[in-house]
Amino acid sequence: MHAPFWLTTALLFPVLLYQGKRARRVTPRLPEAIGECFGQYGEGAPTFRLLVLGESTAAGVGVERHSEGLASQLALRLHQRSGLCVSWHTIGVNGIRLGELLKTLDKKNLPAADAVLLSMGVNDTTGFTPRGRFRRQLAALRDMTTPRYPAPITLLSIPPMEKFSALPSPLRQMMGWRARQLDRVYQALASRKPEHFRYLDYPIVADPALLARDGYHPSAKGYSTIAQALSEQDWALSSPLQRYSGL
């Protein structure tokens, strides 16, 4: 147990409750992106197939169309880097927690993919999902996807919520503290079970110029910046991108 965190939370509970309710009331609730939630860059059959799963960032909140969102922009950067045909598909629900995402995915016919990226954790942070439950749900996701996706699931680090300008203090600091606790679950799983999970740092988007008007989600420029940073890391090197392009 993380006694200092829960003790601090209990002591600040009236303030945190008030600030949380007020933040929900005054922060604009942006819609999910519209348009096709899949596509490709390059001609012919794709060499590399990218699938992004998760919450609001996978749902494209902050931009108008999915083509401006994380999956599409990351596929574009990988295509530009490798010269290969890269397809993308994104499945996301704004406001969802990991347990609810599992139920959603269980009802879907998931597309083929060479790499699966999970962008989750903010709603599990604000919802105080217990770490043990979060860990079990990640294992359930791995079990669900293993027959179709034998490669490790890439866990995008949970954003540092203490930097979310839309949240007041001390709520912002407490959410950042909790996000770090859940992020350590990611890191531990990737360390202990590298055949099932890999951990990837999610670039920090703190510049207001990279944020949507809610001050919370990335803008089109923000998603593009994140995609560029992710494409330059080594997570795809065990994929067809390495075998066919020499990356």
Q: What tens-digit pLDDT sequence spans the chain (247 residues)? A: 577 877 787 877 788 788 888 887 877 889 999 999 999 999 999 999 999 999 999 999 999 999 999 999 999 999 998 899 999 999 999 999 999 999 999 998 899 899 999 999 999 999 999 999 999 999 999 999 888 888 899 999 998 888 877 788 898 898 899 999 999 999 999 999 999 999 998 888 778 888 898 888 999 999 999 999 999 887 665 555 655 555 5
Is residue 58 within 8 A of residue 101, CB to CB? The reply is no
Torsions phi, psi for 122 (to 5 deg)? -65, -45
Domains of the chain: 3-245 (3.40.50.1110)
Query: Which strands sit side by side in the sheet containing 197-200, from one edge to the other?
Result: 38-41, 86-92, 48-54, 115-119, 153-156, 197-200
- C-alpha distance from residue 196 to each of 77, 138, 139, 142 (Å): 25, 10, 9, 7
ω into residue 194 within 30 of 0, thus cis?
A: no
R_g (Cα) of the chain, nearest Å:
18
pTM over 0.75: yes
What tokens does 224 get? 């593009």
